[in-house]
Amino acid sequence: MSVRDAVYRRISVRDFLPDPVDDGLLRTLLTDASYAPSGGNVQPWRIYVVNGESMTRLREFLATQPPVEEPEYDMYPKGLTEPYRTNRFAIGEQMYALLGIAREDKAARLGQFAKNGDFFGAPAAIFCFLDRQMVEPQWSDAGMFLQTFMLLAAEAGLSTCPQEYWSLRHAAVSAFVGAPENEMLFCGVAIGHANPDAAVNTLRSERMPLEEWARFV
């Protein structure tokens, strides 16, 4: 598989099969992903893996914790302007349309959102933390690491879903994985095999034309 093929194959899967994921494969993917660019070779990412039995224990633990916490960072800017607001709105409407959930059906929409807390059924996941001393460039490094990991996962035949949702449950996750206080949860990534029969997994987000966001000078 070419890099280009992996880029187009990678999507955010929101319905996984229960098929297990091998720990050895995850170790290989994480090791390979660590060669992602990192300014000054700081390598700021700190990764916690849950898989198999530990995923079962995590689900049981989360069921005893508050469903939502105050996030430690804003997932989106307050007062998001155009065209960014429309881009965000459109992908949500496309997803709910595939699921047959009407705009006015708030309960069903909340129910779909709550599936984040079950990793959309995925058997494995990673959580990405950063030391609290890190600043914006190191957050960028973490993003490059995560993208590299997800592309390598696509090459290996796995599906993924990056989830900033977990910033809403950072205290529970931190307690479960034993993260020290100096580490801040950035996101999780659900990992497994996509359910080929799930309509939601046919969602392909659109991209703005190159001319709208790039200028050759």
Q: Output the pLDDT for position 180.
A: 98
Q: Output the pLDDT for position 82.
A: 96
Kindly write down the DSSP assignment for every residue of 86-148, as one continuous string: HHHHHHHHHHHHHHT--TT-HHHHHHHHHGGGGGGG-SEEEEEEEETT--HHHHHHHHHHHHH
The pLDDT tens digits for 97-138 are 999 999 999 999 999 999 999 999 999 999 999 999 999 999
Confidence class for position 169, pLDDT limits 50, 70, 90 = very high
CATH C-level class of 3-76+117-204? alpha beta
Q: Output the pLDDT for position 64.
A: 96
Beta bridge partners of 187: 128
Q: Which two tokens stand for residue 143?
A: 């993003």
What pTM value is reported for the model?
0.95
Are 189 and 154 within 8 A, CB to CB? no
Residues 6+ apart with CB under 8 A from 69: 168, 169, 170, 171, 172
Instruction: Give the SS3 label for residue 160.
Output: strand
Mean pLDDT in residue range 37-59: 98
Q: Between the ranges 66-80, 102-116, 183-197, where is the mean pLDDT highest? A: 183-197
DSSP classification of residue 182: T
Kindly write down the DSSP assignment for every residue of 30-86, as one continuous string: HHHHTTS--GGG---EEEEEEETHHHHHHHHHHTTS-S----SS-SS-TT--TTHHH
CA 135 to chain centre: 20
Mean pLDDT in residue range 35-53: 98
Q: Output the pLDDT for position 4.
A: 96
From the list 186, 194, 192, the residue with the least C-alpha distance to 26 is: 192
Confidence class for position 13, pLDDT limits 50, 70, 90 = very high
Mean pLDDT in residue range 152-176: 98
DSSP classification of residue 150: H
Q: Output the pLDDT for position 160.
A: 98
DSSP classification of residue 14: -
Confidence class for position 156, pLDDT limits 50, 70, 90 = very high
